[in-house]
Amino acid sequence: MTKQYPLSTQLCINGKLVDSHSAERFSLYNPRDDSLFCDQVQYAVAEDVDAAVEAAEAAFKGPWGKLKASQRGEALEKLAVMLLEYKEELAYLDGTPTGKSVDDAVKEVEFGATILKYYAGWADKYSGESYPADDGFVKIVRNEPLGICAGINPWNGPIVIICFKLGPALAMGNVMILKPSEKTPLASNRIAFLASEKGILPPGVIQSLSGAGETGALLASHMRIRKVSFTGSVPTGKKIQEAAAKSNLKRVTLELGGKSPSAIFDDCNFDNAVWWSVFAITQNTGQACFAASRVYVQESIADKFIEAFTKGMSAKMNELNPLADKSQLARVSNFITNDAGRTKILVGGKQHGEKGCYWEPTVFYNPAKDAQIYKEEIFGPVACISTFKDEEEFLRLANDSEFGLMSGVFTQDVNRAMRISAQLDSGVVGVNCVSFISLQAPFGGSKQSGLGRELSHHALRSYSEPKTVIINMTY
């Protein structure tokens, strides 16, 4: 039996757990069996957001702002150690209301700690620039923090994505107000509280305001917040960008949806291509923005590949975690219902079992190019498999999308791989792999998949402001 932990249902403002100014309370359910997990979650309203901003400003101008870069790195290292110390509790708090297995939830916390350690190492190494005084002026460029940043986070990888934002923001000297998804608020609140209680960070450096879209809108439009980083849907991302522009033109990073394509060429390593194709659409039960949900296989190996792919998907039937909640189950079901009559289903296509929010891994064959399942992000273990003749046809099909987050190319021809990767409209291209990211390389998308990049040193740029100092050497 899973150990029970106290639930952090309050807000974390200025290092303390406090009640919201709203008397409303909200519920969370376990999608494994639809049981009630918690019914006392609090949402932040305008007064709470203002209080968090006040505390953030005090920390930024006070103790946190006075630390050396190396000391910020040490603090991030300690924060990573804290995540590992509390990994079972944090996994329970966010894994239970999304139905993740204990192992999957713990691995997510461990990956989050790895991210923080990575940015701990960057804190005193992100150098500025200088240029020679050949014109009589020395030019120095300093990278300075923005100030108060807001991180508006999703439910599918809540702790990892908290660390995506916290790591570079804190490494550069900023402070952060987190707004976790209303489905996964508890670990965020707990992390913010523990960071202050254990003396790792001064109060106000990390704060957590649970809430729904209204809370996120308050952060995006607040005149004293200088940056908002959002991970989630395209429609919400557009609203955040608009609110940011209409308020104080705050910086915006948007990591939005995907409908990622992958190409299976006839010269590929066959077993490798099958493994990655199944993994890409079933990891996290398909609830991943970069999931390769459009699989294109070259005609000459189509029958063999489709047989192996559907067999691999069927084998996952009893292994997958449930979808996050009833609303996500209804969303996936609606997609299938809307297009099932027009497209052949090779495997799956319905709820798995009568209890909980489980969905069968599903494969559609050669769907119509105007079908919802082909064009829109489903966010479930649902793949569309289509055939193509040659490189030109694959590129035309792959790039005919408003999304551009991830893509994959499976071939043993290096020249072909490089040729295609240069022409694909996506922020990340995997060669003989797909739906995979690295801390050392930037992650983000083109077109409506978002703005800006996370991970690597590119994320540090988005949390800093270059300041040019020009020194007259001839006066």
Each residue of 59-85: pLDDT tens digit? 999 999 999 999 999 999 999 999 999
Region 114-141: mean pLDDT is 96
Write down the pTM of the prediction.
0.95
* Residue 302: C-alpha distances to residues 259, 270, 331, 366 (Å): 21, 11, 30, 11
**pLDDT of the residue at 227:** 98
Q: Which residues of 22-54 are buried (b: 16+ CB within 10 A; e: fewer)?
A: eeeebebbbbbeeeeebeebbbbbeebbebbbe
Average pLDDT, the chain: 96
**pLDDT of the residue at 343:** 84
Q: What is the DSSP string of 212-240?
A: -HHHHHHHHT-TT--EEEEES-HHHHHHH
Q: Which tokens in the block code for residue 80?
A: 């990573």
> Which residue in 252, 255, 254 sits closest to 463, CA to CA?
252
Region 226-250: mean pLDDT is 97
**Given pLDDT bands bounded at 50, 70 and 90, which one contains residue 339?**
confident
Q: Are 416 and 391 in contact (CB under 8 A)?
A: yes
**pLDDT of the residue at 4:** 81
Res 405 pLDDT > 90: yes
Q: Phi and psi of 326, rounded to 5°?
A: -65, -35
Res 424 pLDDT > 90: yes
Region 387-392: mean pLDDT is 97
State what percent of residues in the chain have pLDDT above 70.
99
Q: Are 172 and 77 in contact (CB under 8 A)?
A: no
Region 342-366: mean pLDDT is 94
pLDDT, tens digit, 9 for 90 and up, residues 90-116: 999 999 999 999 999 999 999 999 999
Determine the Cα–Cα distance for residues 243 and 152; give it in Å rounded to an integer.
Answer: 14
Residue 255 annotated in active site: yes
**pLDDT of the residue at 19:** 98
Pick the catalytic residue from 255, 360, 377, 454: 255
Res 2 pLDDT > 70: no
**Given pLDDT bands bounded at 50, 70 and 90, which one contains residue 474?**
confident
Q: How many CB atoms lie within 10 A of CB 418?
A: 13
Region 144-165: mean pLDDT is 97
Determine the Cα–Cα distance for residues 180 and 153; give it in Å rounded to an integer.
Answer: 5
**pLDDT of the residue at 1:** 42
Determine the Cα–Cα distance for residues 247 and 225; give it in Å rounded to an integer.
Answer: 10
Q: Which tokens in the block code for residue 67?
A: 């630390």
Would you say how long the chain is, in residues? 475
Q: Are 330 and 6 in contact (CB under 8 A)?
A: no
Region 260-289: mean pLDDT is 98
